[in-house]
Amino acid sequence: MENAPNILVTGGAGFIGSHTVVSLMQQGYNPVIVDDFRNSEKRVLKGIEKITGKRPIVHEVDVVNKESMRSIFEQYTFEGIIHFAAYKAVGESVQEPLKYYRNNLVSLMNCIELCEEFGVKNFVFSSSCTVYGEPDGIVVKETTPVKPASSPYGQTKQISEQMLKDAIASKSDLRVLCLRYFNPIGAHESSSIGELPLGIPSNLVPYVTQTAIGKLPQLTVFGDDYDTPDGSCIRDYIHVMDLAEAHIFGLRWLTHQDDNTYQIVNAGTGVGVSVLEIIHTFEKVSNAKLNWTIGPRREGDVSQIYADPKLAEDLLGWKTKRSLEESLRDAWNWEQKLANEE
């Protein structure tokens, strides 16, 4: 589209990134993806094209490489940036912390510095509810105190938020929105794009769908002795398209703010769901029988956390629209589509 505002989307071929690219295109933006496909697959581009009718622009670049990134900033005038590109595996971050610090922090520094150098003001950052650690309450507001991170991955999200906050304190012209994601699940309704975990998934829902399709033998529920109604952990599962749309509302909000703005917003549904409820709801919507068992707790898991989504609605005018059933149905449709392709 002529005159569509350019938005730089780092990590735009990833799970949340690709769904956000679809939303951006459908809302009249021109996303420019930067992704080196280390944790994503090129077929996602075909899926995006199938949904939107247009092949997205992609630059195969590592965001940690500042000179390559500068050449992209030289080619476009960006109205804003959505910075997704980062590692996110909690367990791996404990094994290889430096890999996480270098990748997640240097890439952010490059984005901040280049945005300042090129006058790109609107900055959406992918943060995580992991910054709340084990919260004192179960429902977390943006004002809920941040707790010590339980993994280097969590540390990188806390340090990243701090880095952006310090940039604002130093009178940067940036307008920053940190979206603290809860647990994104599901896939685009069309099953043209979805989650593509590398190797054995560590997240619950891809583990569930891969078990149901027969790729994995059995799902283990990590603990049934938590202080929750059914003993399993509680999380706030959000449909990835709802989360994608939060970025569009966030960008629009940012463009109306004064320079030198810093804002944190939770991106969740406000509903807590247990692991056992995920299993039962999945079996209902898929008509599939899941092979599962109870195992020990997983180290580092918080027992329960979900979002207070009020600020997102009051400030950005955004709230989730899709149900847990739809999320699990879309995740299942996507898994079946992958199985048919193989």
Q: Is 290 near ligand UD1 (CB under 6 A)?
A: no
Stretch binding ligand UD1 (CB under 6 A), from 105-113, 202-210, 259-267, 326-334? 202-210
Angstrom distances, CA of residue 91 to CA of 68, 180, 260, 298: 30, 20, 35, 10
> Least distance in Å: CB of 12 to ligand UD1?
18
Q: Is 16 near ligand UD1 (CB under 6 A)?
A: no
> Least distance in Å: CB of 15 to ligand UD1?
10
Report helix, strand or coil for 64: coil
Cβ atoms < 10 Å from Cβ of 328:
25
Starting at the edge strand found earlier in the chain, the sheet holding 261-267 runs 57-59, 30-34, 6-10, 78-83, 122-128, 175-181, 261-267
Q: CB-wise, 238 or 305, nearer to ligand UD1?
A: 305
> Least distance in Å: CB of 128 to ligand UD1?
4
Helix axes 204-213, 324-341, angle to 10 degrees: 50
Q: What number of chain residues touch ligand UD1 (CB under 6 A)? A: 21
Strand 234-235, strand 273-274: pairing: antiparallel
d(CA 232, CA 215) in angstroms, rounded, equals 24
For residue 250, list its beta bridge partners: none
Q: CB-wise, 294 or 315, nearer to ligand UD1?
A: 294
Which member of 10, 23, 30, 128 binds ligand UD1 (CB under 6 A)? 128
Which member of 302, 307, 312, 331 binds ligand UD1 (CB under 6 A)? 302
Q: Is 216 near ligand UD1 (CB under 6 A)?
A: no
> Least distance in Å: CB of 259 to ligand UD1?
30
Residue nearest ligand UD1, CB atom distance? 233
> Least distance in Å: CB of 172 to ligand UD1?
26
Cβ atoms < 10 Å from Cβ of 72:
18
Q: CB-wise, 59 or 235, nearer to ligand UD1?
A: 235
Q: CB-wise, 21 or 275, nearer to ligand UD1?
A: 275
The catalytic site residues sit at 153
Cβ atoms < 10 Å from Cβ of 100:
24
d(CA 108, CA 249) in angstroms, rounded, equals 22
Q: CB-wise, 124 or 305, nearer to ligand UD1?
A: 305
What's the token pair of residue 75? 């080619």
What's the token pair of residue 202? 């560590």
Q: Is 189 near ligand UD1 (CB under 6 A)?
A: no
Which member of 305, 316, 324, 328 binds ligand UD1 (CB under 6 A)? 305
DSSP 316: I
Question: Which residue in this structure is represented by tokens 């940190």?
Answer: 178
Question: Which residue in this structure is represented by tokens 């690709």?
Answer: 18
Cβ atoms < 10 Å from Cβ of 138:
13
Which member of 173, 301, 308, 313 binds ligand UD1 (CB under 6 A)? 301
Which member of 27, 52, 65, 220 binds ligand UD1 (CB under 6 A)? 220
Angstrom distances, CA of residue 280 to CA of 275, 277, 301, 302: 9, 5, 21, 21
Q: CB-wise, 69 or 219, nearer to ligand UD1?
A: 219
Q: CB-wise, 5 or 197, nearer to ligand UD1?
A: 197
> Least distance in Å: CB of 196 to ligand UD1?
14
To which H or E segment does residue 139 belong?
Answer: strand 139-140
**Burial status of residue 259 (CB atoms within 10 A of its CB: 0-12, 13-18, 19 or more):** exposed
> Least distance in Å: CB of 16 to ligand UD1?
10
Catalog residues that contact ligand UD1 under the rule CB under 6 A: 88, 90, 128-130, 183, 202-204, 207, 219-222, 233, 235, 275, 298, 301-302, 305
